[in-house]
Amino acid sequence: MWVSVALETDAAHADSLSDALLAAGAISVGVEDAQAGTDEETPQFGEPGGADDQPIVPLWSISRVVALFDPSPDLIGRIAAATVAAGIDDLPEIELDEVAEQDWVRLTQSQFDPIRVNDRLWIVPSWHAAPDADAINLVLDPGLAFGTGSHPTTFLCLQWLTETLRSGDSLLDYGCGSGILGIAAAKLGAGSVLGVDIDDNALTAARDNAANNNVTLELRHSKEKLDRRFDIVVANILTNPLCVLAPLLAGRVAPGWRIALSGVLAAQAELVIAAYAPLIALHVGAARDGWVRLEGQAC
């Protein structure tokens, strides 16, 4: 058995608290947005398209630091000492949860069954046989980069690609993560696919996943200049960066062609639609579990 320890702190102390918890014997430490999934979520980005002096947010303003420890009688004292070592004056509220010992590989695999997007497309983990050998089957395992097909936003984008993409179309997947959307596009017959991401780990994952699926993706970092246009543009990110990126993304859609945006909560749809209104008209094309897909066509 292990003990999961969760504390909230600010961006200035999240890294130092993580280091102090590791020094105090934590087996692992992770940092996440304490307000994820709410209107107060703070995406991590430093994308083009905003003001030249737009800062890159170092970490979330309210960060949730989660550490895994072996159980011990002095655990609370060690955590308290770690907060002092991290420069935190007031001890934050500490959440403790027992984590039962598991066969983590088998448990993880059991949580990822094949996903049916529609009759045409399935997402299949490597340890499963394809349920429909006649369908297009993407082989994709959970990893460091976002995108396994299980999240509603990814599902909405995959669904749209099967309905919209035509053989030979060029596609831009901005914020490509695991590469799942680009790989799906390539298997659906796209003539060329460019995946862009701010995270080097995501680009590595996308490259590996493309190789595992016997397709070729062009991949580049978001800091590289992007000046060509595409028949299809898809971006599955978050509301705030989608708004900041409106001039860039809308400007990458070839006249008469289409764009789809996801990573948007239903309550945030009008905010994104308004950000793109001077550039391209968007509408809600589909919804799933509180998330929406926005669609538009360039003039």
Condensed to tens digits (0 to 9), the pLDDT of residues 221-240 reads: 999 999 999 999 999 999 99
Residue 96 DSSP SS3: strand
**Tokens, residue 91:** 């001890």
Average pLDDT of the chain is 88
**Tokens, residue 15:** 């890294």
Rounded to whole angstroms, what are the CA distances from 273 to 6, 236, 284? 36, 15, 9
Q: What is the distance between the alpha carbons of residues 103 and 127, in angstroms, rounded to a whole number?
A: 16
Q: Looking at the predicted structure, is the pLDDT value of residue 34 above 90?
A: no
- Confidence at residue 36, expressed as pLDDT on a 0 to 100 scale: 75
Instruction: Answer yes or no: are the C-beta atoms of 32 and 66 closer than 8 Å.
Output: yes
Q: For the chain, which domains are there?
A: 2-101 (3.30.70), 152-297 (3.40.50.150)
Q: Looking at the predicted structure, is the pLDDT value of residue 176 above 90?
A: yes
Which residue type does 225 have?
K
Q: pLDDT tens for residues 9-20? A: 998 899 999 999
Confidence band of 149 (pLDDT split at 50, 70, 90): confident
Q: What is the distance between the alpha carbons of residues 275 and 50, in angstroms, rounded to a whole number?
A: 12
Q: Looking at the predicted structure, is the pLDDT value of residue 54 above 90?
A: no
Q: What is the distance between the alpha carbons of residues 121 and 119, in angstroms, rounded to a whole number?
A: 6
- Confidence at residue 171, expressed as pLDDT on a 0 to 100 scale: 98
- Does the pTM of the predicted model rise above 0.85? no
Residue 151 DSSP one-character state: S
DSSP 1-31: -EEEEEEEEEHHHHHHHHHHHHHTT-SEEEE
Q: Looking at the predicted structure, is the pLDDT value of residue 56 above 50?
A: no
Instruction: Answer yes or no: are the C-beta atoms of 173 and 193 closer than 8 Å.
Output: yes
Instruction: Kindly state the average pLDDT of the residues 268-290.
Output: 97
